[in-house]
């Protein structure tokens, strides 16, 4: 049932969140980050704020638009959260009762949909191939007055169904709506804060050679790097290799910036490289880099 419901959530719903690594008063959900019990969840594109239910953890997996909650208390339980444009709950209730074709081999149908406190809720059943009958599923939708709705689709075992459906309903009951915002996630992006104490890594491999670059950008404005090259990659910027140290600054606003590296080694020319954030990915020029916590900075 799990894979079926993931598919259902992705195909039925629009994006729950407009991902960002930017800063704001209420920080919107960040892909890949783990959210613990009672952490705040904020989706500006749907104007929705709520909290992770007690005993649950959540994350927005990269390359997907569906927020996933899993139980932290043992046992099987998953809740998929996604958003959609506003809809009349009574009309949606009728559609749920008729059933929704997710694929030509899968159909979801509500057993007994009810509307209470502006929330449509029902246990749902799935008919189709690869459905594990020992699982039970629950769906609920809540709409605000700003043109958006949030839907939860929960699945659990026979033993955990009550707790799973209760947690899913709690997420909506505690949720509030405000005017949606379509502001760029990088509108006021702080590059200095983002890069401080970060390890930037890239690895290139071509026929006949390879290059691995690691750069620790420390909060005090210093950096240390290690560039390993072999084969024909030795000829790419040949003066920049092995272990290097120096200082760094960054200038930029929005999704693009310039990183300046000044080296301690005499005769080694400073480097100025363009940075860009695109779809939550960091690029140095046209080269994809990965950023994680620095391993070579003094604390």
Q: Are strands 222-231 and 242-253 parallel, antiparallel or unpaired?
A: antiparallel
Q: Give pLDDT, residue 14.
A: 28
Q: Give pLDDT, residue 230.
A: 79
Measured on CA atoms in the order 20, 53, 116, 108, is the torsion positive or negative?
Answer: positive
Check: CB of residue 189 under 8 Å from CB of residue 255: yes
Closest CA to 72 of 37, 44, 23: 37
> Phi-psi category of 75—alpha, beta or left, where left has phi over 0 and alpha has psi -120 to 50?
left
Q: Give pLDDT, residue 239.
A: 86
Give per-10-residue mean pLDDT for the chain (299 aa): 36 32 57 85 90 89 72 76 90 90 73 94 76 77 93 88 93 93 76 92 78 92 90 76 94 91 93 86 87 84
Q: Give pLDDT, residue 232.
A: 73
Q: Give pLDDT, residue 157.
A: 86
Does the global pTM surpass 0.85?
A: no
CA 205, 207, 208 angle in degrees (round to 5)? 95
Instruction: Round to whole Å and give the CA distance between 244 and 258.
Output: 20
Q: Give pLDDT, residue 165.
A: 94
Secondary structure (3-state) at 239: coil
């Amino acid at each position: 049932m799990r894979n079926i419901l993931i598919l259902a959530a992705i195909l039925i719903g629009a994006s729950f969140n407009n991902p960002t690594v930017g800063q704001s008063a209420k920080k919107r959900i960040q892909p890949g980050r783990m959210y613990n019990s009672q952490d705040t969840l904020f989706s500006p594109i749907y104007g929705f704020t709520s909290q992770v239910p007690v005993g649950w953890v959540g994350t927005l997996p990269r390359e997907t638009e569906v927020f996933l909650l899993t139980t932290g208390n043992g046992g099987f339980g998953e809740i998929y959260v996604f958003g959609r444009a506003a809809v009349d709950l009574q009309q949606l209730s009728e559609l749920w009762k008729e059933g929704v074709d997710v694929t030509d081999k899968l159909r979801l149908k509500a057993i007994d949909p009810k509307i209470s406190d502006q929330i449509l809720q029902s246990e749902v059943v799935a008919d189709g191939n690869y459905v594990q009958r020992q699982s039970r599923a629950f769906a609920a939708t809540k709409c605000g007055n700003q043109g958006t709705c949030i839907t939860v689709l929960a699945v659990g075992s026979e033993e955990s169904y009550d707790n799973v459906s209760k947690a899913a309903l709690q997420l909506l009951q505690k949720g509030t709506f405000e005017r949606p915002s379509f502001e760029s996630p990088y509108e006021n992006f702080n590059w200095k804060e983002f890069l401080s104490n970060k390890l930037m890594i890239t690895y290139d491999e071509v026929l006949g050679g390879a290059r691995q670059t690691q750069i620790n950008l420390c909060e005090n404005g210093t950096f240390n790097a290690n560039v390993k090259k072999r084969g024909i990659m030795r000829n790419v910027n040949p003066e920049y290799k092995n272990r290097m140290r120096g200082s760094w600054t960054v200038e930029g606003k929005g999704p693009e910036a310039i990183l300046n590296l000044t080296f301690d080694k005499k005769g080694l020319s400073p480097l100025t490289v363009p940075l860009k954030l695109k779809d939550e990915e960091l690029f140095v020029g046209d080269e994809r880099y990965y950023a994680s916590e620095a391993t070579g900075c003094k604390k």
